[in-house]
Copies of this chain bind each other. A is one copy, B any other.
């Protein structure tokens, strides 16, 4: 059977409605078609999935069309699991083309991107053929991903900014992904390299390997905003999120997956997995923001707006807006810092919820006690060696509705 006769947008809408009315139908939280790279030795292993378009809590009509196009091609989508993945075959593409008929002409630029995907698949089907290169994936709930395609779709959702950082379940992603050698965007099985090492070394055709990892690089899959700069592609892992205007310098910087920025940030240091940095902040050269796997007792670190992490500083606690951690200082959850009575008063001005013992000349806090407060300046007194906190000189804009 096949989808036919969809000549108007009304007919298209009816097809969508009819499909969604079927028993058990669910809108996917994410879906998309991916071109996949397979193992050179073990083609059943999928090593990478490239999504031309990512749908994330959107375009439910296209999702319904895809379900209908599969159905007519003899593939029944299983809505009962957390994800469904299948090959993209010629019949499916023909059906989807038929369903998208009323949109074919206007599908270009930013309009109807899923239609553009189907159009180009149709072109490929008519030329080289689709083979086993393309896969369609639906996610119905945010469970631990089971397939490479599902992991990649989630990484895309994070890296394109469609899903907020830390919002997705990536449990077990490391187990799902294969560790591969990356050569010019292409993943290569290490076992295949071993099997062909003698010939390739003698022939002078051993490939250029840029890295060996389970994850690809952000820039292999994502096109950043016009004013975003990533000077060295190796510095940002796929699954990171960079708000427009962020700059990532090539010194000691690194942004792991599920970490990044929510506004323009100058990044010259490390943003570990789960860490998030706010607009106007500055992660100085060699500064480290610890991640849930590296010294924060599982508490993810958020850095507010307009905060400065000095060169080679280390931050293991969340910080609010307008803070400063001086160059070379390490502030972890257990780090003891003292604050004078006068400074405590100034700090309270921008942190109404900050509580302290009145009358104490100075008071010693642990780093964790100060988590999330605004306008803190962490310094080491270079005469006594003591770590102290002052009200920083950086502006803190209080939310007048809240305070």
A residues contacting B by CB (< 8 A) are 35, 50-53, 109, 113, 116-117, 120-121, 124, 133-134, 179, 181, 184-185, 190-191, 193-195, 197-199, 201-204, 206, 208-214, 219-221, 223-235, 237, 249-254, 268, 270, 272, 284-286, 288, 290, 294-295, 310-314, 316, 326-330, 332, 335-338, 364, 380-387
Contacts and interface: CB of A to CB of B under 8 A. Distances in A.
Secondary structure of the A side of the interface? Answer: loop
Nearest to A293: B266
B272 A288 contact: no
Given A179-B229, A312-B286, A199 B337 contact: no
A190 B230 CA distance: 13
Contacts of A230: 211-213
Contacts of A330: 310-312, 326-328
A201 B286 contact: no
Contacts of A284: 288, 294-295
B202 A124 contact: yes
B232 A210 contact: yes
A327 B314 contact: yes
Contact of A195 (B109, B193, B328, B383): B109
A97 to B, nearest CB: 14
A337 B382 contact: yes
A195 B110 CA distance: 8
B383 A117 contact: no
A251 B250 contact: no
A35 B204 contact: yes
